[in-house]
Structure 1
Amino acid sequence: MTQLIQACKYFCNSRKRFKFLYLALIYNLAILNAQHLVEKENQWNVAIYPTFTPDFHSYAIKILDDTLVNGLVYHKVYYSYDSINTVWNYRYGFIREDTLKRVYYKRDHDNEVLLYDFNLNVNDTFKIDEFCTLQVVEIDSISLNDGQTRKRLKLVRKGEPGWGHEYWIDGIGSQFGLINHFGFCVTDYSDVLLCFYNNNKLLFPMAPASCFLTKNDEASNKPRIKLFPNPFHSYIKFENSNSQFRSFKLTTLTGKVMLNGRFEDAGSKINTEALIYGIYLFIVEAENGKQCVSRLIKY
């Protein structure tokens, strides 16, 4: 009888554990699949890093009003160019998302273009134009600051694995910002996502170095630093003719610091053999904290 009672208790407890795990699984799947990129009050803060100049700055995008265009419901895309986002202006852009998690963008009277397809699987392709097609090479998930789990796709330029890669995060977009990620297909693109908000809450990334960069027009900030070769492979050489800039760091596009140091300690050459191929930001900093940024590509 004792053994029978113990068996019943074990069976009941097992059913409770199974029910708990099942509910937890359903809950997590619901979170993972219920994200919408096109949602009011979503905000993207983006940096513009013109190649090899100190003239970097930021803008913010927010999805606000909805409107009807050709029988389809779109949301208007607003822009702000001040660091505290007090003024928002509509710039003739419309965005929508269908039930298959495909995101479309339309400017004024132009035809809409497919901006994202978050239903892609590994090896699926996404055509940008006749000259560039992206291919999904990996799918995983990441956690946002509020604990949500989001699907993430890693894409490369098809047939050119040394070109670098791009990440799409479900409900957020690309690491190159919301609208302009097609620039990944050319070498001189400059937009980089700094921060993503929903209802003024920072959801991504975890600890950004900055969520808005102020435009800097002072001629004295020009770094007069030559970096070569670019693209690079096993090393970067530099010539620093501006003693104002003392330190440097090499980061990923998401802000992760891969290398850092001071110019006088590094000599004239930085070893980069340990870095994987891709696109990096080379940031130089003056003693007063002012920075200049350049983009480098490792092949």
Structure 2
Amino acid sequence: MKVLLIFIIILFTFKPAKSQHLIDTTKLWNVYKCNGAFFWGCYTKTYKFFSDSTIGSLKYSKLYETFDSTNTNWNYTALLREDTLTKKVFWRSNNNESLLYDFNLNVGDTAKVVSSWGNTSCPYSMIVDSIKYNTYFGKVRKQFYFNAPTFYGHKETWIEGIGNTWGLLDNKVAVCTTDYGPRLICYKEKSSLRYFDNYFSKCHQSTVGFKENDFVLNNIKVYPNPSHGNFIIDTGSNYEKNITIKDELGQTIFEIKNDKESVAVSLSQKGVFFISIWHSKGNWSGKIVLL
């Protein structure tokens, strides 16, 4: 009798994660981006769905973006379609559809997707390493962990109902785009925060617009990149600054605080690593590929 009672309690208290749709007009995604090969500036893009458009027999949702922190000046950016039966999300570009997400995958399955911004000239495959259920702001969500072995062992994470932790329309394989270091800062549903990357201090970040006589962000160079382990971070400034390098799991593998213009770094790890430089006048982020 006691065993039966315990089983009934477990049955009624365990609530598995329900299938969660990605496309919804009440959602907002804030994504941190850095533009250009020399990272001339970093900024926040906010994404939101506003309306639908029917092409043939298929219904697409119009995705808009804005750069301002008040979320007032929206511009159309993409057409997305969600198949709620197969749990797949597609991106329509140049009259063709590309797979953006597949939330019906199992461990060991391969997802064939395209690089950031629907670049069909740069396709790649990712393998599902594991699937877990994690809680974000009180809500259990299904989380997919991927490995892309053909691209320096890139790792990615998809969260059902939210998307890629590198950004709604982004991924780690940025070799075919001029956007570098994309990262999902926060995600909201009906104005309520449902995901936040603690690497940041707030949902809207920007390093664009600092005066040149302050911390000259556009002078920062990392070379050679890719590297075989030894490389230089040249800041072009003798201001005191913090430099950190993290791996794809967010673990710090290098950290230094000094006022020298350049720092020589030697690492034995391989893969993609994220560089952050923090200064009282602003911050900068980029990445280094170690072969």
Query: Which residue of 2 is the match for residue 262 of structure 1?
Result: 257
Q: Does the CA contact (< 8 Å) of 2:60 and 2:79 recur in 1? A: no
**Is 2:13 the partner of 1:20?**
no
Identify the residue that residue 6 of structure 1 maps to in structure 2: none
Query: What amino acid is aligned across from residue 193 of structure 1 in structure 2?
Result: L
Deviations 1:234-254 (A, max 9, x none): 554334431135221224568
* Residues 28, 189 of structure 2: 8 Å contact kept: yes
After superposition, the Cα gap between the structure-2 partners of 1:267 and 1:208, relative to the gap in structure 1 and judged at 3 Å, is closer
1:149 aligns with 140
1: CA distance, partners of 2:195 / 2:220: 32
**In 1, Cα distance between the equivalents of 2:121 and 2:107?**
21
Contact 2:156–2:172 (8 Å) recurs in 1 = no
Kept in 2, the 8 Å contact 1:193–1:254? The answer is: no
2:103 is the alignment partner of 1:118: yes
- Which of 139, 144, 163 does residue 173 from structure 1 map onto? 163
TM-score scaled by structure 2?
A: 0.80
Contact 2:134 2:143 in 1 (8 A): no
Residue 127 of structure 2 corresponds to which residue in structure 1?
136
Aligned residue for 1:279? 272
**What are the within-5 Å matches in structure 2 for residues 136-285 of structure 1?**
136-158=127-149, 160=150, 162-181=152-171, 183-184=173-174, 186=176, 189-190=179-180, 191-205=182-196, 207-209=198-200, 210-214=202-206, 216-217=208-209, 218-220=211-213, 221-223=215-217, 224-232=219-227, 234-244=229-239, 246-252=241-247, 257-264=252-259, 268-273=263-268, 277-285=270-278
Query: How many percent identity over aligned positions?
Result: 22
Task: Give the number of the structure whose residues are more often helix, by fraction.
Answer: 1
Q: Which of the residues 31, 37, 41 maps onto 1:46?
A: 31
Change (3 A) 1:148 1:233: farther
* Residues 65-80 of structure 1 aligned to structure 2 (within 5 Å): 65-80=51-66
Q: Match for 1:291 among 283, 288, 291?
A: 283
Shift of 1:96: 2.4
Q: Is the 8 A contact 1:43 1:61 kept in 2?
A: yes
Deviating more after overlay: 228-237 vs 50-59? 228-237
Give the letter for the 1:296 counterpart: I
Change in CA separation of 1:297 and 1:87 when aligned onto 2, cut-off 3 Å: same
Q: In structure 1, what is the equivalent of residue 20 of structure 2?
A: 35
RMSD: 3.1
Give yes or no for contact 1:54–1:222 (8 Å, CA) kept in 2. Answer: no
The aligned amino acid for 1:175 is T
Deviation per residue, 1:213-259 (Å, 9 max, x gap): 23514444434344334234555433443113522122456866554
Larger Rg belongs to:
1
Q: Do the aligned partners of 2:47 and 2:63 also contact (CA within 8 Å) in 1?
A: yes
Q: Is the 8 A contact 1:176 1:193 kept in 2?
A: yes
SS at match of 2:41: coil
CA contact (8 A) 1:47 1:59 kept: yes
**Distance (whole Å) between structure 2 residues aligned to residue 121 and residue 141 of structure 1:** 11
